[in-house]
Each structure stands twice: as C-alpha cells, then as structure tokens.
C-alpha cells in the first residue's frame, strides 16, 4: 500500500451514500468524495461537482453512478465520466483499495 | 392598500351575517392579509419529522411553506418560493432530503434555508451576497401536545396565550397519556366548493345540523337501525372562546366510543384520573372543535384537519388521523378505519357536510341572495360560566361559538396587521 492514505473504515460509508475526505488529508486541490455503490464497492471522485457548487459526497449513489444532490447531474463512479446536463465536464476519479475493512485512497492515480 | 370595514357585515350580538363574507373577492384578499398573515396556523404533527431533512409541504393561507427538520433537529418552516424567480423549491408533498433545489434555474438551499448553490455564479456582480438570498423563514413556530403551529406575525402573543382556555378542551383529545399522539397513514386531501369559514364555523359551533344532515348515517350506525330519542335530543355544552375558538360536545356519564375495539381498549378510569370527570364526560365524547381560524378536530374520530382557503369559493381539506401512541396496532387500525368510514374523504358523515357547504356557496353569488343575511341567533343570551367547564359555555344546540368566531374575524379584519403598520407612527 505504498503511498495509499488510510482515509476511513469501510463501515463508515453506508451503501448508497458517500463521505468527503478533506483536501488537507488527501493533499489534492479539491476534497475527495468516497462513494459506496449499492453493490458495496467504493469509488473516489473530486467532491465538487463540475457544474456548480455542490458536494458529490452528499449525492445519491446507485448502479455505478452518483447523482449530484443539487442539480441532478450524473457521473460514472469508476471513470468520473459525466452522463448528462447540467454538468458537461467529467469528474476526476481516483484509485481506492480496501484492505482488512480499511479504505485506502491513492490521490491522483487512475482507478 | 385600501381595506374594507366589515363592521356592517357581522352582527355578532344580534346574530346576523352578511353573505359577502363568503363571496367577496376583496374581503377574501383582506383575510389573507389580516387573518392568515397574523394568526397562529396549524402546520403539521410532530410525528411527521424524525430525522434531519424530513419535510412536509403545506400552506399558510395561500402561502406555500416547507416544514422541515434542520441539521440540528430543529423544526423550521420556510416560504416555499425561490428568491430568484419565485418557483417552489420543493414540489413533493413530503419526504426526506438534504437540500431544496429550484427546478427552474437551480438555485439550491440547505436545510437551514441558506442559499448554497447558484449555477453560473460568475455572471453575478462581485458584491452579490448569497447570505442575503436565503429562503424566507416563518418567524415563529411552537407546538402544543405534538401539534406544530406557526405564524408570520413577528411579534405574536404566545401560542399558549392565543389558545387560552381552549387548551383544557384540546387536552381531551391530545393528552390521554404521557406518550402523546402519533399520525397513522398519510394526509387525505380533497377539494370542496365552499368558503373555508363554512367548515370552520360548523366545527366550532354546529351540533344542530347533526340530526338533519346526518340522518342516514345516524340510522345506519344506530343499534337496530333506529336512532333513539337520546340521540336526537342529545344534551351537552358548547365552549365559546373570545378569540374565536369553539368546541361543542355532548355531556354523557357513560362516555361511549363508537368504534367498539377502541372503546373496549380505552381505560376510562385512568382517563378520569388524568383528565377529570368533566372532560371525560364532556369534550372527550363525540365532540367537534375549531381552533381559530382554520384548524378543526373530532376527538372520537381521531381526525385533525385544516381548511386551506383557495379563493372565496373554494377550500382544500387536508385531514390526518391521529391516535394515542400507546394504542396497540389492532386498536390503531380500528381507529383508522372508523375515521375513514365516518370522516374520510368519502366518509358517511363527511359527504353530508361537504354537500351542505357547497350548496350554500353555489347560490350565494346571486345578487338578491347575497343581500339576504344569514341567521346565527340560536342560543343568544345562553352564554355563561357553567361551573364545570372553563371559560364561557353555551348549550350544545347553539350558534354561540359561531358568533364568537365571526366576532373575532371582524375584529382582525378591521385591525391593521403588523405588515401594514408604519414604523414612523
């Protein structure tokens, strides 16, 4: 787990929801949203929606996508690819690994 | 804004009412300004909110409001209208959310009403301050035994003061035991032709209509299909509140719930201990009540309802069924079904009442019709302290609470409201 940062316990993130990792911890320009899909997998995207001021960690996570809680743009959890208006820019995705019930974040690395 | 002096339309001492109070558009607009923007209004039941983000949308007069629990678990109410172009920011009847986003341009507000997101924000001037554009908040909310009330009046008398002695009567429905009440099922909503006051005044004052309007329902419910003399000549009292509230109730030593399962479960000895004999044999019986201006309830049926004004000729009825929290499931279900069958939207009593109100309204715009006043003279002079029930009471068959209702209405209609007063005066 070289250069991975332990950012949460898996049980801290309910399925279908997300939590935000502060940029002071991730060392990135933006906070990072840890998003847990309804199949139990965990994904990471830049937290701020590419459309407007909104936190994707507060969005709805389901079926491989996160929906922005404010304006309903959807992003692919795996790639960050935008699925529809009002956002037009992809979200930045980061690599996440789970080990022994702990969530490790690899900022800047592709999933 | 010019206002209408309604003194000549309400003779609450002589018991006469001009029909313009239920038909006139200008009077209706004045009601929104001076009755609904100033009074404590029922919003919701506390049981509708359990976690932050739980919300319920309703109206105060014609003003749409969101009632919700904020992140600190405080119940708050906001005008449901975006500060940008005015569309509603919440279109659902109820639910749970993390924020309220306007579907027009996307301005979004958090549970505290703060404006938290503006699409294309770079287009606004540098000195634009989001903090100035939060949702408009209802300044005062308070609860009484689980009922949430709110008022737009920035300096209101307290809810308790406004309810006065009416609380003694309300407790007969709301305070059966320390656990309080909960809501069963959702909120029934239906539209009726008819001015909102026709319903409110009837619930405040009118037992008189029961034998005539509800004859078929009484017959169906009577043992052997034949109502006895006791039913037709019911005796009781009617509470008459100077602030316009009213509560009529039969007085009966062997109090009787009509839903057998509920009746058998009820511990009358414990109720007598807690609420006293006068309440158990009075307002806890088959009564009817209205809290001025437009919140009504039926203690035995578990029905609480609001008459939303929708213009002078139309109202929306929103009705909840509430039960004692301590009731086991099969008793709750019996109460729910009993209320549904009697005072649900298609209930055998509710249908009769709606028909009457719509009938009165439908013809009241006729020029000659509108010039013929209505009679509210039953029980004139009967108001007194009866030594058993607090405040002033009248006979069960009486228009006394309606006279007080319209007296209060007239006084508020003739008083400039908080928003009309000039600070320089």
Domain count, chain A: 1
Tell me how far apart the alpha carbons of residues B39 and B33 are, in angstroms, rounded to a whole number: 10
Contacts of A54 in chain B (CB under 8 A): 108, 116-117
Nearest CA in chain A to B105: A71
Mean local confidence (pLDDT), B293-297: 98
Percent of chain B with pLDDT over 90: 88
pLDDT digits (tens, 9 = 90+) for B365-417: 999 999 999 999 999 999 999 999 999 999 999 999 999 999 999 999 999 99
Task: Look at residue A111 and tell me if it is in a domain.
Answer: no
pLDDT of residue B252: 85
* Minimal Cβ distance to A86: which of B99, B118, B119: B119
B255 & B329 share domain: yes
How many beta-carbon pairs below 8 A join chains A and B?
A: 32
Residues linked to residue A48 through DSSP beta bridges, in sequence order: A55
One domain for residues B378 and B243:
yes
Residues B121 and B172 in one domain: no
Confidence category of residue B256, pLDDT binned at 50, 70, 90: low
Across B223-232, b (16+ Cβ under 10 Å) vs e yields: eeeebeeeee
Domain enclosing residue B69, as ranges: 41-141
Residue B129 reports pLDDT greater than 80 = yes
Does residue B330 belong to any structural domain of this protein? Answer: yes
In a domain, B419, yes or no: no
Out of A51, A58, A70, whose CB is closest to B101?
A70
**Beta carbons of B116 and A53 less than 8 Å apart:** yes
- Rounded Cα–Cα distance for residues A51 and B30 (Å): 44
Q: Which residue of B has its CA nearest to A55?
A: B117
How many angstroms from the chain centroid is the CA of residue B85? 31
Domain range enclosing A22: 5-106
Residues in chain B within 8 Å Cβ distance of A69: 98-99
SS3 B33: helix
Residue B223's pLDDT is: 75
Q: What is the 3-state secondary structure (H, E, C) of A6-57?
A: EEEEHHHCCCCCEEEECHHHHCCCCCEEEEECCCCCEEEEECECCCCCCEHH
Cα B233 to Cα B208, B228, B298, B389, B400, distances in angstroms: 10, 9, 20, 21, 19
Question: Do B317 and B198 lie in a common domain?
Answer: yes
Domain boundary among B108, B141, B174: B141
Q: E strands of B21-163, at which residues? A: 41-45, 54-60, 63-69, 75-79, 94-96, 100-101, 108-109, 115-117, 140-144, 147-151
Domain boundary, last residue among B109, B141, B173 = B141
Q: Which of B98, B99, B118 is the closest to A52 by Cβ?
A: B118
User: pLDDT tens, B331-347?
Assistant: 999 999 999 999 999 99
Question: Within this chain, do residues B181 and B249 fall inside the same structural domain, yes or no?
Answer: yes
Same domain, B348 and B400: yes
In a domain, A28, yes or no: yes
Mutate to test the interface with B, among A52, A73, A84, A85 (most CBs of B within 10 A): A52
Strands B303-309 and B140-144: unpaired
Q: What is the pLDDT of residue B153?
A: 98
Residues in B whose CB is inside 8 Å of some CB of A read 98-99, 101, 106, 108, 116-121
The verdict on B186 and B289 lying in the same domain is yes
Q: Which of A51, A52, A69 sits opposite B99 (nearest CB)?
A: A69
Q: Answer yes or no: do A71 and B99 touch at CB < 8 A.
A: no
How confident is residue B111, by pLDDT bands cut at 50, 70 and 90?
very high
The pLDDT of residue B234 is 80
**CA closest to B109 among chain A residues:** A70
Query: In terms of domains, do B86 and B183 share one?
Result: no
What CATH number should be reported for the domain holding residue B392? 3.90.380.10
Say if CB A50 and CB A86 are below 8 A apart: no
Tell whether A6 lies on the interface with B, counting CB pairs under 8 A: no
Choose, out of A16, A70, A86, the residue to mutate when testing the contact with B (most B CBs < 10 Å).
A70
CA A52 vs CA A33, A56, A92, B207: distances in Å: 15, 11, 15, 59
Return d(Cα A13, Cα A103) in angstroms, integer. Answer: 10
Which CATH number does the domain housing residue A62 bear? 2.102.10.10
Instruction: Please give the tally of structural domains in chain B.
Output: 2
């Amino acid at each position: 787990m070289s250069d991975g940062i332990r950012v949460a316990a898996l049980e801290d993130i309910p399925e279908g929801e997300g939590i935000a990792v502060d940029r002071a911890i991730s060392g990135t320009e933006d906070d990072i949203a840890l998003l847990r899909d309804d199949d139990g997998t965990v994904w990471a995207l830049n937290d701020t929606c590419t459309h407007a001021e909104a936190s994707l960690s507060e969005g709805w996570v389901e079926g491989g996508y996160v929906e922005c809680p404010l304006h309903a743009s959807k992003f692919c959890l795996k790639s960050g690819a935008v699925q529809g208006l009002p956002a037009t820019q992809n979200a930045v995705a980061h690599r996440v690994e789970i080990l022994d019930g702990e969530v490790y974040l690899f900022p800047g690395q592709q999933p | 804004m010019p206002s209408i002096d309604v003194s000549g339309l309400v003779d609450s001492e002589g018991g006469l009412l001009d029909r313009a109070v239920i038909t006139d558009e200008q009077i209706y607009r004045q009601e929104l300004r001076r009755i609904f923007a100033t009074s404590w209004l029922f919003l919701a039941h506390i049981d509708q909110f359990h976690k932050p983000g739980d919300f319920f949308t309703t109206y105060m007069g014609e003003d749409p409001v969101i009632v919700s629990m904020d992140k600190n678990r405080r119940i708050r109410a906001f005008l449901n209208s975006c500060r940008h172009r005015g569309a509603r920011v919440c279109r659902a009847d109820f639910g749970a959310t993390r924020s309220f986003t306007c579907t027009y341009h996307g301005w979004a507000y958090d549970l505290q009403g703060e404006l938290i997101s503006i699409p294309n924000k770079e287009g606004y001037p540098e000195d634009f301050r989001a903090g100035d554009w939060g949702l408009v908040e209802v300044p005062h909310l308070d609860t009484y035994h689980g009922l949430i009330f709110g008022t737009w009046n920035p300096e209101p008398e307290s809810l308790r003061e406004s309810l006065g002695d009416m609380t003694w009567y309300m407790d007969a429905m709301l305070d059966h035991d320390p656990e309080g009440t909960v809501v069963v099922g959702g909120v029934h909503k239906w539209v009726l032709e008819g001015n909102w006051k026709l319903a409110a005044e009837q619930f405040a004052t009118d037992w008189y209509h029961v034998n005539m309007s509800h004859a078929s329902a009484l017959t169906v419910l009577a043992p052997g299909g034949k109502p006895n003399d006791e039913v037709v000549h019911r005796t009781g009292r009617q509470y008459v509140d100077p602030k316009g509230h009213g509560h009529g109730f039969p007085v009966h030593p062997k109090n009787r719930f009509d839903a057998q399962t509920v009746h058998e479960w009820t511990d009358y000895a414990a109720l007598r201990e807690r609420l006293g004999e006068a309440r158990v044999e009075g307002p806890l019986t088959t009564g009817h009540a209205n809290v001025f201006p437009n919140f009504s309830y039926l203690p035995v049926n578990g029905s609480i309802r609001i008459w939303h004004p929708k213009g002078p000729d139309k109202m929306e009825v929103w009705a909840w069924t509430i039960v004692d929290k301590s009731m086991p499931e099969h008793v709750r279900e019996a109460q729910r079904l009993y209320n549904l069958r009697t005072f649900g939207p298609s209930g055998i009593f509710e249908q009769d009442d709606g028909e009457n109100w719509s009938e009165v309204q439908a013809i009241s715009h006729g020029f000659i019709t509108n010039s013929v006043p209505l009679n509210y003279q039953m029980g004139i002079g009967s108001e007194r302290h009866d030594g058993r029930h607090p405040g002033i009471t009248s006979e069960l068959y009486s228009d006394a609470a309606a006279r007080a209702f319209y007296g209060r209405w007239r006084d508020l209609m003739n008083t400039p409201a908080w928003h009309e007063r000039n600070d320089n005066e």
